[in-house]
Amino acid sequence: MKKFALFIGCNIPAKVEQYETSARAVLKKLDIDIVDIKAFNCCGYPLKNTDQTAWLLSSARNIALAEQKGFEILTLCKCCFGSLKKANAVLNEDNNIKLEINKILEKEGLQYQGNSSISHYLSILHDDITIEDLNKKTIDHYNDLNIATHYGCHALRPSEIMKFDDPVSPTLFDNLVEVTGAKSIEWPSKLDCCGAPVLGINNDLSYDLTEKKLSNAKKAGADFICVACPWCYMQFDKIQGQIALKRSSEYNLPSILYTQLLGLRLGIGQKELGIQIPGNSDNEQVKQAFSKLFDTKEKKVKKKKTKKKTIKKKVEKKETQTSE
Amino acid sequence: MTFDLLFYSSLILLAVGMVVKITQWFSYRIGIQTQNSTFSQRLGSSLKAIPGVIFSPKIGIILKVFILDVLLQYRILKEDILRWVMHMLIFWGFILLFFMHALETVVSDAILPGYFSTVNPYMFLRDFFGCMVLIGIAIAICRRLFLKVPRLSTNKCDVYAIFIVTTIIFSGIFLEGAKIISYTDFQNMEQDYSALEYKEDIFALEAYWVKHYGLVSPNIKGEISQEILSAGEELHNESCLDCHTKPQAAFTGYAVSRIMEPVGGLLDRMGFVTFLYYFHILACFIGLALLPFTKMLHIITTPVSLITGAIMQRDKSDPLNIATRQLIELDACVHCNTCSKTCSQASACDIKNNINILPSERMLSLRQYFKTNDLGSSQFMAIQEGIYLCSNCDRCTVVCPAGINLKELWYDVREDFIRSGEIITPLVLSPFSYNRTYNQDDFNATLSDMPARHAKGIIASKYKKKARSEEPLSLTDTDTEFNASKDHSLAEDTFSYCFSCENCTNVCPVVLNYEKPEEAVDLLPHQIMRSLGLGLKDLVLGSNMLWDCVTCYQCQEHCPQNVKVTDILYELKNEVAKDCFYSQKE
């Protein structure tokens, strides 16, 4: 088994702590060992707009730290994932920048080589643990839960570098959601941006993009919008609240982290996963959505088998695609 | 007499210094919520809050913090064991010396049974405490000089702190050593405590002290007979033994006395003891008098910061008191660099060449800023950049051993720095701005993207805006140098493959968001690619599309010609940031 260093980034410890706790709980349940590298710094993503060299240095330092200890980086955030992986590609393509960056890293006794792999949490679940194994480990299924998956831009694109999934019709996240027995609904703008990258730069635009996604997911009958990135989560969570206040357009579509969605079906406690049921919400839809999280049924063995086959096919298909 | 004069002058200076400091804490303006508060309002609201804390369950928190974080310094232990050992040695050594030795007439005489500074265990303990401080100081110097602690830098405040403590302790040890060998001191003691009448008796006692107490006497030379020594011992037992332990117990002072022994007589005749005595007390009094204006003030401010940090809450405490606390916190920072070591953005400092990116260095600049309120535009710009180049991961706040709520300090001071003045950092046009909108309710920012609008205004004024739609574009003032002169990256060169199929524009979620996208974003993505080919520099760099781009990479993914559209937009943004903003420094 590969050895992973967990890369939690900047937003999670400060604003989405439950993502870290739930992600760790799930990994523990699945017997995956991870280490923490305390010296990790920001992936550099926010620096890209104004100074790409500073971004490359930030990313390279993290990769160098992981390489020094012989670990692969496992990110929780899609933007950290995108930023680190893109930096990897740029540095491997441009030797001059690589030399310049290594000159700075040398002062700390670090060296960027570019051999270490960077994976997102979802890829590890899907490709290393596999849907089959996850299926075995779930204790039961959601009875009736409709989930709108939000893929997150920086994991999918540019696909030639990210190699996360098919950029036009990805299935990875949907497969992972369906393993819990929930239904991954089809909905428009599923692959679009959540709006987070321009919040603070152009709030109206950011709110517009978030609103559009919320409205589309709601119309398609989602109980939850499911994410695996702190930026997207913050956008659909707290920023949804801001939109409701400022624009008086309420969607009442709660968001859930994938680690929480899966964790519940692996038998991990609600508290450990950091799932907070909004107590003072008088909105029936929100209440109903959360109650559905605890409405479960037994796994159907027969159905599972057929499902497995199709999933297997999909995985194979994907493999042939990437090998091409 | 001289002692009293020096002592009281230093106390007066200390009092004056503290009054100045306290006035600063209650009158300087910090953050946006306290812009118009006065000294009396601030002092009033603090005094009002104090009884509410003392007579509430919060007193339990205060006690816990005082024991764990102030006395046992648990927060340092969590981060760095060596530093904890160092600080505990210095802190406890110095505190115990202060109470047992410096305040002996007040504290030791009153509470310690049979206290005499020349009797064990006190004689030994004094040296032991001094030795603790010295070991601590040695670790501190080693950490700064030899151990390569990441991001640890040393400034003159750090040097002063180490210097003053070292001077006080070393002068004390040398004073003790000089006293051990001093013949003058022996004579004084002999007159005070034994008053022997016969010269032979004095000689015998002297001989005994030379042999066993390290005395250097001009009268005793060569071997001394056993007879005289036993006579001396008898006299010693009669008048000295009860209140004078052998000086070997004072192990550091005794060691120094052995070094000075060969020139002991000379030193004594020169009045070395008196000299060292004044040197020692002067060092102590200087340290005392300068306390409010040096790093040593942290012995007061850091416990205050630890305690107030534990009991105050942003949503419940009076904003005026938060402002006062933040000013005390600026003085509670000891420049230990724990925050910079853990800072998520520290590596940007290596590229940007701006030490204000490191939180510990920024604290020093801010202290300066609030004192003078005008540091010149380049320093203002540097602090602004440093404080904005923060991904708000809160790691500094979690680790700060002084319990400073750095997170909130950055929130508030950042607002000060972006709202005042014309100068603005291009970083407001980056995801670093996210946090301000995310937390906008915390600092009642109604228009949290205002700084970004301001920056866009600067960009617009620098580059000529696109001529309105009906007018044909003029190609006469194109900048042919624009493309030729630049050091092109691999990505940027790909714009030339564009054949204007408009796929990029058709998949762009930003374009799709507007009914009349040209009005909102100036240039559509495919137009940017074409304009680059035509050398329409102002048009491209002045375009709002650059900053409205959500970097979702849809355009790049869907380009049939493999134009790296998003990457090109990133590079153009970098160019605008450099071109439009950093030039303001000059």
Alpha-carbon dihedral sign for residues B407, B408, B409, B415: positive
- For A147, A184, B577, the CA distances from A254, given in Å and listed in that order, are 10, 15, 38
> Of all residues in chain B, what percent carry a pLDDT higher than 90?
70
Report the alpha-carbon distance of residue B97 to residue A101 in Å, rounded: 51
CA distance A157 to chain B (A): 6
* Reported pTM: 0.91
The tokens of B186 are what?
Answer: 């022996």
Q: Please judge whether B513 and A212 are an interchain contact, meaning their C-beta atoms are less than 8 angstroms apart.
A: yes
Mean pLDDT, chain B, integer = 90
Q: What is the pLDDT of residues A121-176, one digit of tens each?
A: 999 999 999 999 999 999 999 999 999 999 999 999 999 999 999 999 999 999 99
**Separation CA B231–CA B54 (nearest Å):** 64
Mean pLDDT of A165-194: 96
Query: Which residues in chain B have their CB less than 8 angstroms from residue A107's CB?
Result: 350
State whether A94 and B489 contact (CB < 8 Å): yes
Sign of the CA dihedral with B266 first, then B269, B272, and B273 last: positive
Query: Which residue from B346, B407, B429 is facing A41, i.e. has the nearest CB?
Result: B346
Smallest Cα distance from B545 to chain A, Å: 11
Question: Do the Cβ atoms of A210 and A235 come closer than 8 Å?
Answer: yes
- What is the band of A324 on the pLDDT scale with cuts at 50, 70, 90? very low
Please tell me which residue of chain B has the smallest CA distance to A239: B438
**What does the alpha-carbon distance between residue A153 and residue B538 come to, in Å, rounded to a whole number?**
30
pLDDT of B486 > 60? The answer is no
Task: Calculate the alpha carbon distances from A3 to A34, A85, B27 in Å.
Answer: 7, 18, 55
* Residue numbers of A between 167 and 196 with CB closer than 8 Å to B: 167, 189, 192-193, 195-196
How far off is chain A from B465, nearest CA to CA, in Å? 19
| Sequence-ordered list of residues with C-beta below 8 angstroms from that of A31, at least 6 positions apart, any chain | none
CB pair distance less than 8 Å for B570 and A49: yes
- d(CA B454, CA B462) in angstroms, rounded, equals 13
Average pLDDT of the segment spanning B419-432: 88
CATH 1.10.1060.10 residue window(s) in chain B: 463-585
Which helix (H) or strand (E) segment is B528 a member of?
Answer: helix B525-534
Note whether B430 contacts A46, CB cutoff 8 Å: yes
pLDDT of the residue at B482: 60
Distance CA A20, CA A14 (A): 11
Q: How confident is the model at residue B584 (pLDDT cuts 50, 70, 90)?
A: very low
pLDDT of B196 = 85
Judged by CB atoms closer than 8 Å, whether chains meet at A49 and B431 is answered as yes
Return the percentage of chain A with pLDDT > 70, whole number. Answer: 92
Min mean pLDDT across A21-35, A186-200, A267-281, B3-17 is at A267-281
B537-576: string of b/e by CB count within 10 Å (b at 16+)?
Answer: bbbbbbbbbbbbbbbbbbbbbbbebebbbbbbbbbbbbbb
- Contacting residues of A for B566, CB less than 8 Å apart: 158
Is A54 an interface residue toward B (CB < 8 Å)?
A: yes
CA distance A215 to A119: 31
A 99-128: CB under 8 A from B: 104, 107-108
Omega of the bond leading into A158 within 30 degrees of 0 (cis): yes
DSSP letter at B28? Answer: S
**pLDDT for residue B515:** 96
Structure tokens at A192: 């679009």
For residue B516, the tally of other CB atoms under 10 A from its CB is: 8
- CATH number belonging to the domain at B463-585, selected among 1.10.340.30, 2.60.120.260, 3.90.1200.10, 1.10.1060.10: 1.10.1060.10
Q: Is B300 helix (H, G, I), strand (E, B) or coil?
A: helix
Q: Do the Cβ atoms of A264 and A275 come closer than 8 Å?
A: yes
User: What does the DSSP assignment read for B419-484?
Assistant: HSSS---GGGGSGGGHHHHHTGGGGT-SSTTHHHHHHHHHHHHHSPPPPPTTSPPP-TT--HHHHH
Q: Which residues contact B152 (CB under 8 A, 6 or more apart)?
A: B143, B144, B337, B341
Average pLDDT over residues B542-553: 96
pLDDT, mean of residues A166-191:
96
Please say whether the beta carbons of B521 and A198 come within 8 A: no
Cβ-defined contact of B557 to A11 (cutoff 8 Å)? no
Q: Report helix, strand or coil for B277.
A: helix
Give chain A's domains with CATH numbers: 4-120 (1.20.1050.140), 131-297 (3.40.50.11810)
B248 vs A311: which has the higher pLDDT: B248
For residue B376, name the pLDDT band (cuts at 50, 70, 90). Answer: confident
Task: Give me the half-sphere count of Cα atoms (radius 13 Å) on the Cβ side of residue A308.
Answer: 13
**Closest Cβ opposite residue A208 in set B427, B440, B513:** B513
Cα–Cα distance, B452 to A201 (Å, whole number): 5
Contact yes or no for A167/A318 (Cβ under 8 A): no
B393: chain A residues, CB-CB within 8 Å: 9-11, 13-14, 42
Q: Please give the mean pLDDT across all residues of chain A.
A: 92
The answer to whether A197 and A205 are in contact (CB under 8 A) is no
Write the ipTM.
0.92
Instruction: State the DSSP code for A198.
Output: G
Is the pLDDT at B203 greater than 60? The verdict is yes
Q: Of A188, A189, A190, A208, whose CA–CA distance to A198 is shortest? A: A208
Pick A145 or A315 by higher pLDDT.
A145
Please give the pLDDT value at position A314: 56
A-chain residues near B433 (CB < 8 A): 199-201
Longest Cα–Cα distance of chain B, Å, equals 122
DSSP state letter for B92:
H
pLDDT of residue A116: 85
Percent of chain B topping pLDDT 70? 93
Per the CB < 8 Å rule, is B431 touching A61?
no
Do B527 and B469 contact (CB within 8 A), yes or no?
Answer: no
From chain A, the residues in CB contact with B392 under 8 A are 10-11, 14-15
Do A209 and B343 lie within an 8 Å CB cutoff? no
Whether residue A205 and residue B551 make contact (CB cut-off 8 A), yes or no, is: no
Least confident of A150-164, B55-69, B458-472: B458-472
CA distance A224 to A255: 5
Q: Which CA distances in Å does A74 have to A33, A39, A62, B89?
A: 11, 15, 11, 41
Closest partner residue to A108 among B150, B437, B438, by Cβ? B150
The number of residues in chain A equals 324
Locus of tokens 């517009």: A208
Closest partner residue to B345 among A42, A208, A238, by Cβ? A42
B-chain residues near A46 (CB < 8 A):
391, 430-432, 434
Distance, in Å, from the CA atom of B201 to the CA atom of B232, rounded to the nearest integer, reads 7
Q: Is the dihedral of CA B71, B76, B77, B82 positive or negative?
A: negative
* Nearest CA-CA distance, residue A225 and chain B, Å: 19
